[in-house]
Structure 1
């Protein structure tokens, strides 16, 4: 049974495409170098909290290691139209996830043992707390649809489509964080780059 009312937002560039750097012995960059703690350390916090977040999915792992600190830092300094745009995208994403979780909770499923990994996150702004909440819900959706897949109440293509749509909702928030405050109109619309007609 496929999810029919859950659209994926328009594809946006990946905000965290890492530049090539030196590689370790195994050929891959160490993940702890991607957390970029110094970016958040320079921010004066509106709130100050740390949380240890469990996660199961590869998407959550990569987003937390590659995109979270960047987005959290940019949210802290967002003002005017940019703040409105990010807030609006949060509302859209949260509404989408409510529908997705209601749908996934109704699917017949089998319980499977799961063993999460953990990451400690610094929360310096209310919006970064909302982003953590969306990632937590994504991870729950990941586990629920895995149980439904095992019970054969959900096909692999339908599951993949749902997870990709969920990922796109979170990535859209991170995408909006890339731009400076002056790239947004007061009502929260992202303006074209200077020199572009539309």
Structure 2
């Protein structure tokens, strides 16, 4: 089982080092999810000063502690940085987000080959603002992560994969999403035109 898991999807060979609204715009859905309610998103004042390309909004459903922490602590920061990214930094972000989305899609497909009865996990909802298409792709990755979290949990609970398999899948996914935060941190002038970080 573990050998197949490492091949499909491909494991991450390198450990990877992130549209949200103001707090009053956040909405909590089902009570009893077991997750602490998000009352304030970090960097909301930074994001509010950005002149967005769009004011589209979406409602993100999440069940995992990782998604909750990422939304609260990293999403607004990343959305703000994405909104002002230019040149090579845009290319670096686009590459990381598309690779993350593709890996999560393949991982979910691999998990779905093990057919089990779906388990409805408790969840919360939060409204996020999409300032730029790449921020929308980040929201998509978070949605995909939470689906992978649910699929892996279902299959672990029914004995289709082991707890170690599940932990490995989620750790790999989380490293990829954390890498987006790391790419957001440097200024635009720290990236070459092709998206490579200068000095690396």
- Per the shorter chain, which TM-score range? 0.7 to 0.9
Taking structure 2 as the reference length, the TM-score comes to 0.83
Please state how far the C-alpha of 1:169 moved relative to its aligned partner: 1.2
- 2:22 corresponding residue in structure 1: none
DSSP-derived class of the 1:32 partner? coil
Please state how far the C-alpha of 1:118 moved relative to its aligned partner: 1.2
- Separation in 2, partners of 1:54, 1:157: 26
- Separation in 1, partners of 2:136, 2:116: 30
DSSP-derived class of the 1:175 partner? helix
Larger radius of gyration: 1
2:178 aligned with 1:171: yes
- 2:164 corresponding residue in structure 1: 157
Pick from 60, 67, 81 the counterpart of residue 88 of structure 2: 81
- Separation in 1, partners of 2:47, 2:182: 18
Please state how far the C-alpha of 1:108 moved relative to its aligned partner: 3.1
Residue ranges of structure 1 left out of the alignment (5+ in a row):
15-29, 193-197
Closer, same or farther: CA 9–49 of 1 in aligned 2, 3 Å: farther
Residue ranges of structure 2 left out of the alignment (5+ in a row):
19-36
- Separation in 2, partners of 1:120, 1:64: 10
Decide which moves more: 92-101 or 104-113: 104-113
Alignment root-mean-square deviation, CA: 1.9
- Separation in 1, partners of 2:126, 2:13: 28
Correspondences of 1:111-150 after superposition (within 5 Å)? 111-150=118-157
- Separation in 2, partners of 1:8, 1:109: 30
Whether the 8 Å CA contact 1:6–1:96 is kept in 2: the answer is: no
Pick from 1, 7, 10 the counterpart of residue 12 of structure 2: 7
Taking structure 1 as the reference length, the TM-score comes to 0.83
Q: May I ask how many residue pairs the two structures share in their alignment?
A: 178
